[in-house]
Amino acid sequence: MSEVLAAKVELDEEGFLKNPDDWSEELAAELAKEVGIDELTDLHWKVIHFMRSEFKDRGQAPTIRRIKNSGGVPIKEVYRLFPDGPAKKAARIAGLHKPQGCV
Catalytic residue among 1, 11, 64, 102: 102
Distances (CA, A) of 37 to 4, 56, 66, 85, 90: 20, 25, 22, 13, 10
Query: How many whole angstroms separate alpha carbon 33 and alpha carbon 31?
Result: 5
- Say which amino acid occupies 9: V
Distances (CA, A) of 71 to 15, 34, 48, 67: 25, 25, 10, 4
102 included as an active-site residue: yes
Which residues are tagged catalytic? Answer: 102
